[in-house]
Amino acid sequence: MSLLKVKDGTEIYYKDWGTGQPVVFSHGWPLDADAWDSQMNFLGRQGLRVIAHDRRGHGRSGQSWEGNEMDTYADDLAELFEALDLRDAIMVGHSTGGGEVARYIGRHGTSRVAKAVLIGAVPPIMLKTDANPDGLPIEVFDQIREGVTTNRSQFFKDLAVPFYGYNRDNAAVSQGMIDSFWAIGMLGSIKGELDCIKAFSETDFTADLQRFDVPTLILHGDDDQIVPIGASALKTVEQVPGAVLKIIPGAPHGMCTTLADEINRYLLDFIRQ
């Protein structure tokens, strides 16, 4: 296992495969780097260096009691960039990982970054507030917290269904993928996962998005049941200068898995531009 000990002593697990221009992936909640298997396998075979880490409190990384919030997530990622001396990198973030990418750029800039991709990402802010009336009410996130607290195992099995759009007519349901989602979710720290709910739902990334100064691609499914497109991508594209939004018709939140070939083509085309 490749482990990086960051400044507070937490160990961050990461994969680092291949050679060439680095593509750095940040995963969604409650998953880990394995959520990027399809993309890493494909892009690695195209001659790119592919890197993904397990966010603290998730997967095989350390389960710190503190630091389960966006500033620390971004700083952990910055330490990984420095330890591996990554330059001219393409950053790719899905869901919560999209927030991590945004906060990284907001805090650390783009001196090591060539391009950014946000996929089904949570920015600008998911929570409904007076300033963000199109967001989701706090009760939605309280229900997630309750599900994780009272029966995390069953909650993850249930959540996988809308996550991958398996509750839609004619969906090709994969029991294996549901089981994988459950297994990865259960590997993480319940404390870290609970803290992360607040991080992905209540963090306002507006100022971070306005610091983007690299080519940016936004991919979002118009049938995303987890991060609705109206409260996220449609607003983000207005905040990031020059960003390009590609709406994937009928795609669910977990489209990097269910529509891997299509997403991989978008990524490779964007990287090669």
Residue range 207-253, pLDDT digits in tens: 999 999 999 999 999 999 999 999 999 999 999 999 999 999 999 99
265 in Cβ contact with 258 (< 8 Å): no
**Global pTM value:** 0.97
Catalytic residue status for 64 = no
Q: Where are the domains of the chain?
A: 2-272
User: What gap in Å lies between CA 62 and CA 273, rounded to an integer?
Assistant: 37
97 with 32: CB under 8 angstroms? no
Bridge partners for 14 per DSSP? 2, 53
The yes-or-no answer on residue 76 being catalytic is: no
Specify the pLDDT at position 1: 73
Question: What per-residue confidence (pLDDT) applies to 235?
Answer: 97
> Annotated catalytic residue: which of 54, 75, 208, 224?
224
- List the catalytic residue out of 61, 95, 189, 232: 95
Which residue ranges in the chain fall short of pLDDT 70? none
Q: What does 20-60 look like in DSSP terms, one character per residue?
A: SSEEEEE--TT--GGGGHHHHHHHHTTT-EEEEEPPTTSTT
Beta-strand relationship, 216-221 and 113-119: parallel
Helix (H) or strand (E) holding 116: strand 113-119
**CATH of 2-272 given 2.40.170.20, 3.40.50.1820, 1.10.3720.10, 3.40.50.300:** 3.40.50.1820
Residue 73 token pair: 């997530």
| Residue of 53, 94, 220, 253 marked active site | 253
What pLDDT score does 47 carry?
A: 98
pLDDT of residue 87: 98
| Active site annotation includes 2 | no
